Amino acid sequence: MILDPDLIQFTTQFLEKNGALVDAHPDHIHALLPGHLADSLNLPEETRLGSNEHPLLYGSPVLDRLVHAATSRIPVTYGTLSIPYIKKAGFDAAIAQDLSFINAKCEVGVRAETRTSYMIITCSYVALSDERKEGLTRLTFHEPSGAVVEDFEDTVTDFECSYYRKGNLPPQFSTRIGLTLQKALKSIHHSIEQDLAPFIASMRRRLHRDVLNTREYYQSLADEMRASLAHPNLSDTQRMERQEKIDGLQAEADRKISDLQHKYDTRIHVRVCAGERYLVDVAQLIVTILYRKARRTLPVFYNPVTRRIDPLVCEICGKTMRRIFLQDGKTGVVLTCPECSRNR
């Protein structure tokens, strides 16, 4: 089975950084792990990830342990935000503004004040190609769902926060956040790719230009040499040698082009630098979705930090969404993003 390229990259980088020898393929990763790493990941020293024995999928135990090991040494702060006022009315308008149920109707039911948790992750990245580009990215995730909550990281500083010491954390900070972190890493990679899109596009343009120049150069060289074959003073041997050179030009051009492709290839390294986890009092609304003859209730949150309804998460691919489609699944009605709705 072909593995998710993000998982291959993450796993390879993490294992190599910790002293492993890694041979990555599209459908499995073959790794030789140093003893301490094998012990901490509960894997044999020679291991094949992506096999039936050690599947490398979102939610798989091996990935859980890898994510835990990769994030356990990252500094994390914990706090509760003081929310002076929690919205009490006007939720119909808020939902209509922030969530679009494209093929279903939505009714707002009971409202309750509750406490939920958000995590801000800060990552640095380096993209290496013919040039180097560095950057920082900061994203916020709603911990229970893994949804990306836009702008939270910018507005959170408007609120007072009481911080906790480690060892004295309230139980509302769940320790079972492996799945959220996996979704978060995927979203972070996606966000970094968007940040880097202009850089990657400029490397592609340069590659395209250099490849064209190389082709033109070798074409005119071949034309020139072919024309010189007609020279009356050439001996048969010289003519044969020149012909051989002409015949070899295409292979030489192909080699040069492959070097260029390697030179402009972009490799991206991502490092998680810090985590901030916040408990926040929010308004929770139970909404009822009416889709054909089915009804489904689900909680949505009005977030007092962003002053918006938090987005939802596609129940097929895990992507954050504000445009929501409904469709029939095996065990009932499923919420999906526009892409998954098209691909079903």
Binding site for Zn ion (CB under 5 A): 314, 316-317, 319, 337, 340
Q: Which is nearer to Zn ion, 82 or 343 (CB)?
A: 343
> Considering the complex, what minimum distance in angstroms separates the CB of residue 70 from Zn ion?
25
Q: Which is nearer to Zn ion, 304 or 318 (CB)?
A: 318
> Considering the complex, what minimum distance in angstroms separates the CB of residue 4 from Zn ion?
14
Residue 80 near residue 171, CB atoms below 8 Å: no
DSSP code string of 8-52: HHHHHHHHHHTT-EEEE-SS-EEEE--HHHHHHHT--SEEEETSS
Question: Distance between CA 31 and CA 20 in Å, rounded?
Answer: 7
> Considering the complex, what minimum distance in angstroms separates the CB of residue 144 from Zn ion?
18
Q: Which is nearer to Zn ion, 15 or 337 (CB)?
A: 337
> Considering the complex, what minimum distance in angstroms separates the CB of residue 107 from Zn ion?
24
From the list 307, 306, 305, the residue with the least C-alpha distance to 161 is 305
> Considering the complex, what minimum distance in angstroms separates the CB of residue 344 from Zn ion?
10
E strand or H helix that includes residue 306: none
Tokens linked to 334: 């499923």
Tokens linked to 177: 């956040």
DSSP 132: E
Q: Which is nearer to Zn ion, 148 or 340 (CB)?
A: 340
Tokens linked to 256: 């040069």
Q: Which is nearer to Zn ion, 300 or 340 (CB)?
A: 340
Q: Which is nearer to Zn ion, 120 or 314 (CB)?
A: 314
Question: Distance between CA 174 and CA 87 in Å, rounded?
Answer: 26
Q: Which is nearer to Zn ion, 257 or 316 (CB)?
A: 316
> Considering the complex, what minimum distance in angstroms separates the CB of residue 318 from Zn ion?
7
Question: Distance between CA 56 and CA 49 in Å, rounded?
Answer: 6
Question: Distance between CA 327 and CA 317 in Å, rounded?
Answer: 14
> Considering the complex, what minimum distance in angstroms separates the CB of residue 341 from Zn ion?
8
Q: Is 234 exposed, middle or buried (0-12, 13-18, 19+ CB in 10 A)?
A: middle
